[in-house]
Amino acid sequence: MPEMTLIEAIRTAMDEELGRDTSVFIVGEDVGQRGGVFRATQGLFEKYGAERVIDSPLAELSIVGVGIGAALYGMRPICEIQFADFIHPAFNQIVNEAAKMCYRSNGQWTVPMVIRAPYGGGISGGLYHSQSVEAFFAHVPGLKVIIPSNPYDAKGLLKAAVRDPNPVLFFEPKKGYRLIRGEVPEEEYTVPIGPARISRSGRDLSVFAYGMMHHYALQAAERLAEEDIQVEVVDLRTLYPVDKATILTSVHKTGKALIVYEDNLTGGYGAEIAAILAGEAFTDLDAPVQRLAGPDVPGVPFSHPLQEWFMPNPDKIAEAMRNLAAY
């Protein structure tokens, strides 16, 4: 089985879907001749042509608007937002049009569209190239929100997203693009949207994470195993709709939960997991539900020491795990 990076897995998924279905096309800033600023679409312009890999103006509202219109006409657009930080101009299109289309037309119209966007910090991107935006969208019924943590899931989930009849937001942990490698089978497969994955089994506490933080949580869990603390790590993968059963089953076993996300703490996605546990796992809890997240400051700082202060990392996660295990 070939090993590839996260970005290669994403590119392969798009390549295969473009080859499989002529209604699939890509639209976004610099996705064509330049191959995307992260090279996610490298080679696809040459392979599929300018009509299927379309360079857009610097206007996110129009990228998503074009995608919605094309989707209503039977196409399957993959919209690329160059950085998740720039998705906000398209917020109205996503929330008011794409999310509600199926519902308000009583199922007569659907928007089979994928919006890809690199997100997250730790890459010295400063305030406008480091944001996490998943909590905004994981609040909106009608959208599906996916964040893969490894190449296998990234490819399988992206292919499933392209084939899904409704709008899917596909946020990619950009710090892991070239950092995270993994085996990806050559044969055709998809990963179902919805189920979380227990990536490491343990009895002492459960850690819920996604994207880059899942990668770090696994590293921290490995360290704690040397201290005889067995951490169960759950990769949420699909944030909306969330896989409650896996979450509740895990906490039923361990009695303790830590949720790690790199977004600002308050109102971040982990708050929802904490609320699910408070409501539905109360009698299973042996410790307060803990969140480890970025501090409540307006952005991920550009200054390197301040960025380190902001970002959760394996050291901070291991410390939080240790404290929770000792409770």
Catalytic residues: 129
In the block, residue with structure tokens 């795990």: 321
Residue type, 169: L
Find the binder of other proteins among 182, 223, 284, 314 (CB under 8 A).
284
Q: Does 285 bind other proteins (CB under 8 A)?
A: yes
- The least CB distance from residue 26 to other proteins, in Å, is 49
Q: Report, in Å, the least distance between residue 250 CB and other proteins.
A: 13
Residue 326 binds other proteins (CB under 8 A): yes
Q: Are the CB atoms for 174 and 129 separated by under 8 Å?
A: no
Helices and strands per DSSP (H, E), number in the chain = 12, 14
Spatial contact of 254 and 204, defined as CB atoms under 8 Å apart: yes
Tell me the closest approach of the beta carbon of residue 23 to other proteins, in angstroms. Answer: 45
User: How many residues of this chain interact with other proteins, rule: CB under 8 A?
Assistant: 9
CB closer to other proteins, 109 vs 327: 327
Among 3, 183, 286, 296, binds other proteins (CB under 8 A): 286
Residues 211-270 that bind other proteins (CB under 8 A): 255
- Please give the Cα distance from 274 to 96 (Å, whole number): 28
Cα–Cα distance measured from residue 318 to residue 321, given in angstroms and rounded to the nearest whole number? 5
In the bound state with other proteins, the residue whose beta carbon lies nearer, of 46 and 286, is: 286
Q: Is 95 in the site for other proteins (CB under 8 A)?
A: no
With CB under 8 A as the contact rule, the residue among 198, 287, 302, 313 that binds other proteins is 287
Q: How far apart are CA 36 and CA 14, in angstroms?
A: 13
Nearest to other proteins of 110, 249 (CB atom): 249
The two most distant CA atoms of the chain are separated, in Å, by 59
Candidate residues 106, 279, 283, 305; the one interacting with other proteins per rule CB under 8 A = 283
Concatenated DSSP letters of 32-55: STT--TTSTTTTHHHHH-TTTEEE
Q: Could you tell me the smallest distance in angstroms from the CB atom of residue 273 to other proteins?
A: 17
163, 56, 10, 144: CA torsion to nearest 10: -50
Q: Which C-beta is closer to other proteins: that of 242 or that of 277?
A: 277
Query: Of the ranges 93-101, 145-153, 213-221, 285-293, which one interacts with other proteins (CB under 8 A)?
Result: 285-293
Count Cα neighbours of 316 within 13 Å in the Cβ-side half-sphere: 17
CA distance 257 to 321: 9
Nearer Cβ to other proteins (186/326): 326
Interface ranges with other proteins (CB under 8 A) = 255, 282-287, 326-327
